[in-house]
Amino acid sequence: MKKVIVACGSGVATSQTVASKVAKLLKEKNVKAEVEAIDIKSLDRFIKTCDVYVALTNPQKDYGVPVVQGIPFLTGMGMEQELEKLINALK
């Protein structure tokens, strides 16, 4: 199963919210993937195990995996575009 990680500063509010939104949208589009919310401090550990990284902080470096912007999933603005990027990255 493909894996998506969503990281924010503490893993308590924003990443959880975006992760559940992303999981719901992927399900609606029939894209099978596991979506996990993590704390930014564990990013280095999780990044190796994922296929796409949904970023809620400014990415500090190139992680070698596709990065999708997470904010549109919170605000709804530009969401379709980021969702399409995410789905393409999971193909």
Residues that bind another protein (CB under 8 A): 8-14, 16-17, 20-21, 40, 55-58, 69-71, 74-77
For residue 38, the minimal CB distance to another protein (Å) is 12
Q: What is the DSSP string of 8-67?
A: ESSSSSHHHHHHHHHHHHHHHTT--EEEEEEEGGGHHHHHTT-SEEEESS---S--SS-E
Residue closer to another protein, measured from CB, 22 or 91: 22
Residue 51, φ and ψ in degrees, nearest 5 = -100, -30
Q: Do 19 and 83 meet the contact criterion of CB atoms below 8 Å apart?
A: no
Residue closer to another protein, measured from CB, 30 or 58: 58
Residue that has been written with the tokens 């603005």 in this structure: 77
For residue 50, the minimal CB distance to another protein (Å) is 18
For residue 65, the minimal CB distance to another protein (Å) is 17
Residue closer to another protein, measured from CB, 68 or 91: 68
